[in-house]
Amino acid sequence: MGAGTELSEARRDVAEGSLYLDYNATTPLAPEVAQAVGDAMCHAWGNPSSSHPAGKKAKELISSARENLARMVGGRPEDIIFTSGGTEANNMVIHTACRHFHGSQARPGGSRGMPHIVASSVEHDSIRLPLEQLVKESLAEATFVAVSPQSGQAEVDDVLAAVRPTTCLVSVMLANNETGVIMPVAELSQRVRALNQRREAEGLPRILVHTDAAQMIGKGRVDVQELGVDYLTIVGHKFYGPRIGALYVRGPGTTTPLHPMLFGGGQERNFRPGTENTPMIAGLGQAAELVSKNCEAYETHMRDVRDYLEARLEASFGKQRIHFNSHFTGSKRLCNTSNVSILGPGLQGRRVLSSCKMLLASVGAACHSEKGDRPSSILLSCGIPYNVAQNALRLSVGRDTTRADVDLVVQDLLQAVAQLDQDQAP
């Protein structure tokens, strides 16, 4: 796959003799991205706000990157705001929604009360925790809509049923980081748009729609026109880019409100001040260009390898001993993600991984890695039984993962489980 050899080397550099299947946690920099970052560090170190040639060169790189990101998600360059990462972008959306609600209150006939936000029960912590904090401080109200155990999705009807007169934001991720389930965001946006027309006639605040697309970009089609969202979060390190991010806003400050969380030098049209991180932005732009050019090939390759992985697991352990936690009837999922439990006592995900000699993977979101053997709340939310969820492994393949890698991983899991079974034998 193009620069696959260098990517394979990057993957094996993580630890000698290891095989990395944790691409939903993070990805290595694509070689072209590392090159773009290095070039910008050496040759575009001027302050982008400076009017001399060194500053102009940096500014041009940033403009080019902005165009690449816009092209990748089907938006306009002026709709892209660079941020430090997905966490900042998500917090910015929540902050904006609350500010916009209070602004609409101040107008004659405006609604009264506290801003209310609806999110799914399986959102990333950078959505869930800011909302919980606002609730704790009595600054907002929040409803977390449970996903359906049948589909693994936040069902559109359930999300809309949670809407109140004071609702100002609905935030539902595009694809879940643990199950890989793709959420019905386009349908949700369509329904909210129709609802907003009725609400406007009643003098109720507009409901803004946000999706965190961290896991979807680089693994499937992301088009803001098709999705119909007001905001979309972009996270570089999930698609072989650097650890910064961006926020897509449909007409920031005009069509769609956007309120800064920081105040300073006026960069990013005052929405996100601070001297721009030119090298990382250049890298993000290069990563976006790779996605625009190769996304279909990436998706086809990763789906093939993931499906092969699942077939080999079933063949090796037997269908009775394997439970796929990410298979939901009628739901689509990310091309690279398999959440699987090897059934049996003493085979908790963490124990299995620690008995593996080569496999580097996780039991769920990397941010929750300190939670011991407690099962993933996301899997429990999806209706996976406690003892099955406890044994879960999240295996996520990458652009450079091969079928030969999968064979080695399955062998490694077989020896790990045999060892744990033997340790438990009376």
> CA-based diameter of the chain, in Å?
77
CA–CA separation, 259 vs 283, rounded Å?
Answer: 26
3-state secondary structure the chain: CCCHHHHHHHHHHCCCCCEECECCCCCCCCHHHHHHHHHHHHHCCCCCCCCCHHHHHHHHHHHHHHHHHHHHHCCCHHHEEEECCHHHHHHHHHHHHHHHHHHHHHCCCCCCCCCEEEEECCCCHHHHHHHHHHHHCCCCEEEEECCCCCCCCCCHHHHHHCCCCCEEEEECCCECCCCCEECCHHHHHHHHHHHHHHHHHCCCCCCEEEEECCCCECCECCCHHHHCCCEEEEEHHHCCCCCCEEEEECCECCCECCCCCCCCCCCHHHCCCCCCCHHHHHHHHHHHHHHHHHHHHHHHHHHHHHHHHHHHHHHHHCHHHEEECCCCCCCCECCCEEEEEECCCCCCHHHHHHHCCCEECECCCHHHCCCCCCCCHHHHHCCCCHHHHCCEEEEECCCCCCHHHHHHHHHHHHHHHHHHHHHHCC
Residue of 295, 335, 367, 382 marked catalytic: 367
Q: Are 24 and 306 in contact (CB under 8 A)?
A: no
Active-site residue, 367 included: yes
CB-neighbour burial class of residue 46 (10 A; exposed 0-12, middle 13-18, buried 19+): middle
Q: Are 65 and 280 in contact (CB under 8 A)?
A: no
Amino acid at 281: I
Question: Which active-site residues does the annotation give?
Answer: 367
